[in-house]
Chains A and B, each alone.
Chain A
Amino acid sequence: MSDLIKLSLADIQKGLKAKKFSASEVTSAYLNEIDAANPKLNAYVSIENEQALSMAKASDEKLAKGEGGALEGVPLGIKDLFATKGAHTQAGSHILDGFKPEYESFITNNLWQDGAVMLGKLNMDEFAMGSSNETSYYGAVINPHRASGSNKDLVPGGSSGGSAAAVSAFLCAGATATDTGGSIRQPAAFTGTVGIKPTYGRCSRWGVVAFASSLDQAGPITRTVEDSALMLASMAGFDRLDSTSVDLAVPDFAAAIERGVKGLRIGVPKEYRMDGMPDEIEKLWQQGLAWLKDEGAIIKDISLPHTKYALPAYYIVAPAEASSNLARYDGVKYGLRVNGDSIDEMYENTRAAGFGAEVQRRVLIGTYVLSAGYYDAYYVKAQKVRTLIKRDFETVFNDGIDAILTPATPSAAFGVNDQEMKADPVKMYLNDIFTVTVNMAGLPAIAVPAGKDNAGLPLGLQLIGKPFDEETLFAAGRVIERSAGLDFTPKKWW
């Protein structure tokens, strides 16, 4: 039955409808695979066996009656950042020890309404702060991919490292993820999976533990572009409880995937050609442009002049919001409490013990940039930069560009416990160089696996779209996926 876990979302559904297998069988197959793989990959922080089997059973009952939603019986993994009622929800942090919410996030609720089955909660960088999934209180996630001939552990990227690794290693049919500066797209690129960060406002943030509210956006990580479209269609939608949610109908994304790129104008931003960028990345980028051109797209050189300010501005805005968003983890109401002789001491003890080094670093940065006397120089200026970045994109889209093609990451996956990045956090932050601008501008972008480096490690390309035009991204992403025609199944070593 191990073939069941290799099916795409669409094929699982077809098989279920044709009664070739049951939802319980698919779910069990995944649970068995998780049991075997998780001790090595550490993708799940919590495996919800009982809940998964009972949800699958409920799906089977519906399917037997010819009923069922768009994702009926499809087993999914859920990033630990999403509130799931009665289940582990700790944002990969020690400070939320034992926290099980009494509520379900808007997005997961949508998925369950559509019949999806929850396998468990996926590992992640603590509070989604990281690019390697090494800041998790639950330990690093290991990338299922290894360089050919090497047995060195690689990172799956972050912060949705658990989601990417689980999808790549067939530990779920698809996974929810979130992206604040690249946390869906970078891990997708590192694991040969498809990750889309939709337009800000497309998916409700209600019930998703906040990192940086103006940048956070949820999306799926899947093995194919089609699966991505199917999953996003279920996750997305207007939510009146999220003031930043946008009241727009959710298009039939799946209907757009085979639309092709004929006549589309694809922009190539010159500012994304970085000094010291590996040849393989440059070659991949050119290859991607060639594929799109072959299918009738028009390639245009464009300029996004404020790109170079995006990363520094991001590392002001995101920590600023995070420092405030994480103030609620104070030991008073839920999660970890480390007592002290006074309330201030209790706060200090709890937060010192509960937050890891990277979270503490960002809380400190955020507190600093919002402080009296520094606010204008940092936060206000960063917001101005943000406006300029947005304007860069508006200008090119107004000039007729339909989508922009860039590399997803400046390199393939790197090693676990990389000493250089450990010594210099900015080196780690540079992983997001191609992705943060998109969050700053609130735009949708998809990372699609497009090639492999010399060591056989997956590499991804990123397509950036107009606001609420995820359909074009699915169409163009599908062209890249089809043109690449590669198998990104990791060679099993675990």
Chain B
Amino acid sequence: MSLVDTRTPDPKKFIKGATGDWEMVIGLEIHAQITSESKLFSGSSTKFGNAPNSNVSFVDAAMPGMLPTINQECVRQAVRTGLGLKAKINNRSIFDRKNYFYPDLPQGYQISQFKDPIVGEGIVYLDMGKDGEVEIGIERLHLEQDAGKSIHDQHPNMSFIDLNRSGVALMEIVSKPDIRSSEEARTYIAKIRTILRYLGTCDGNMEQGSLRADINVSVRAPGGEFGTRCEIKNVNSMRFAVAAIEYEARRQIDILEDGGKIDQETRLFDSKSGKTRSMRSKEEAHDYRYFPDPDLLPLEFDDEFVAALAKDLPELPDEKHDRFVNEYSITSYDASVLISSRSNADFFENVAKGRDGKLSANWVINEFFGRLAKEELDVSNSPISAKQLGGIIDLISSSDISGKIAKDLFEIVWGEGGDPADIVEKRSMKQVSDTGAIEKMIDDIISANPEQVEKVKLKPQLIGWFVGQVMKASQGKANPQAVNKILKEKLGL
């Protein structure tokens, strides 16, 4: 892989050093566990949380004479992901053995793809808000086996091994070194996760280890030659990714500014101290002795296989975003918030179908998502349905209730459930649009407050006080537009 700089240095992202500005260069390898019933090369279950060593077949335990058999579903998932990353799908790829000794690696090698991965170059777009859209290159995606787990805290001088994860299918998604800040890295991980979740190819649960990242960080003079990189292994949260990158960049800058040089090495991030520490140097690096796995034939499929998967691909976040902006006339920012997950986007669409897009977006984002977040809920276990929220919006649109009443109504529906229109009806929450009734209230207020009437003629913005009085008199149910209109007429404003 030859390194190409695709980015224009952006002073906003520079890090101040004692000797001048520095720029980070970041590339990520994301390991995403494929959503599949069984492992990459065996029929064992991939279920998380089972008792140790209960998801283990003879193949996973590397019993003598056992052979791997490719799981076609994992191949389909990898191709779907490649399509989601707008990447080149390789109709012929090769499984290689990566050889090293470790107790939780029963075969003594990991089956991976080295020279000929299943997916080649692709692109991911990041919406960086005010800074606009950033394009991050994907170098490749390959299939590989996960290792088991070593457990070191169960016995004073022995380690225990759990092979449940041994052989589970992973996709390693390798980015090009196109990322220039920890925030971009965070957004990149989030974007990859969103795409994977849309596709249903990885559940993206970082806490359970279904998604983790190896982060390559180097620093350089802005726009200069690429520096020597360090790889931070196995970062399993976005927050840690940001912290690890910030720490690591600063560490490298300090070394360089002290006249030192960076040793290419593998490092670990300690989330307690917030620091990275050396795991092994380049000299200690394993010689993995990659060679094609003779137990497996080259993985081959035809264009029709890919076309069939492409045909059934769901709408992806970028496309959904653009459609939302066009179809519902909402802002790009709102669209980005709404598409953050497929279920959120679906909820919005169910609310917005046949209704005012902007109003729907406001209500879904501010009231609904806001409330979900506060209660630590999500769409799947929300007490309020899209139909109910749509009902509330209908009542606003028909001027049956004001925005303020709508918020009260939202509280009622959230807490008690029920049909919004029925609730409004039964609890007499409808706003008064009957001009006769409003006129009567206004007349009463005008005649009771002659001083205010004089003042408002000099200072028209005092009309707000009259509006307040009318709303008070109507218990908030008077239609604010009608109130304003009649007040203006009566006060001669």
Contact = CB atoms under 8 A, between A and B. Distances in A.
B65 interface: yes
A385 to B, nearest CB: 15
Interface string A311-329: 0000000001101101110
Nearest to A334: B63
A36 interface: no
Contact of B99 (A89, A240, A343, A370): A370
B108 A103 contact: no
A333 interface: yes
Given A83-B64, A205-B67, A244-B297, A375 B291 contact: yes
Contacts of B291: 320-321, 324, 370, 375, 379
A243 B297 contact: yes
Nearest to A91: B64
A96 interface: yes
Contacts of A417: none
Contacts of A82: 65
B439 to A, nearest CB: 85
Question: Do most interface residues of chain A lie in helix, strand or loop, or is the interface mixed?
Answer: loop
Contacts of A333: 61-62, 106
A83 B61 CA distance: 15
Contacts of A91: 64
Contacts of A370: 99, 289-291
A163 to B, nearest CB: 17
B99 A327 contact: yes
A101 B63 contact: yes
A105 B294 contact: no
Interface string B57-80: 010011111111110000000000
Interface string B287-301: 101110011110000
Contacts of A103: 58, 63
Contact of A347 (B67, B101, B106): B101
Contacts of B161: 332
A217 interface: no
A20 to B, nearest CB: 38
Interface string A190-221: 00000000000000011111101110000000
Given A371-B287, A375-B291, A241 B67 contact: yes
Nearest to A327: B108
Interface in B40-94: 58, 61-70
Contacts of B108: 324, 326-328, 330
Interface residues of A, number: 44
B229 interface: no
B321 interface: no
A242 interface: yes
B55 to A, nearest CB: 16
B142 interface: no
Interface string A247-277: 0000000000000000000000000000000
B103 interface: yes
A243 B294 CA distance: 10
A99 interface: yes
Contact of B69 (A212, A243, A328): A243
A324 B68 contact: no
Nearest to B100: A327
B402 interface: no
A327 B107 contact: yes
Interface in B98-115: 99, 101, 103, 106-109
Contacts of B294: 212-214, 244, 321
Contact of B295 (A83, A243, A344): A243
B50 to A, nearest CB: 19
B101 A327 contact: yes
A367 B97 CA distance: 13
A102 interface: yes
B103 A372 contact: no
Interface in B311-364: none
Name the residue among A102, A328, A334, A372 with the largest chain B CB count within 10 angstroms: A328
A324 B61 contact: no
A350 to B, nearest CB: 11
B319 to A, nearest CB: 37
B67 A243 contact: yes
B386 to A, nearest CB: 46
A89 B109 CA distance: 23
Contacts of A102: 58, 63
Nearest to A89: B64
Contacts of A375: 289-291
Interface in A25-80: none
A213 B69 contact: no
B65 A207 contact: yes
Nearest to B285: A372
B446 to A, nearest CB: 90
B280 to A, nearest CB: 14
A206 B57 CA distance: 14
Nearest to B57: A103
A343 to B, nearest CB: 6
A206 B64 contact: no
Nearest to B62: A328
Interface string B106-132: 111100000000000000000000000
A378 to B, nearest CB: 11
B289 A328 contact: no
Contacts of B287: 371-372
A87 to B, nearest CB: 13
Contacts of B295: 210, 213, 243-244
Interface of A: 82-83, 89, 91, 96, 99, 101-103, 105, 205-210, 212-214, 240-244, 320-321, 323-324, 326-328, 330, 332-334, 343-344, 347, 367, 370-372, 375, 379
15 contacts: A83-B65, A89-B64, A101-B63, A102-B58, A103-B63, A205-B65, A206-B67, A209-B64, A240-B69, A243-B69, A243-B70, A244-B295, A321-B291, A330-B108, A343-B103
The 7 closest A-B pairs by CB, nearest first: A327-B108, A370-B289, A214-B294, A213-B294, A328-B62, A207-B65, A209-B64
Interface of B: 58, 61-70, 97, 99, 101, 103, 106-109, 159, 161, 287, 289-291, 294-297
Given A213-B294, A243-B70, A372-B289, 6 more contacts: A210-B64, A323-B99, A324-B289, A328-B64, A371-B287, A375-B289
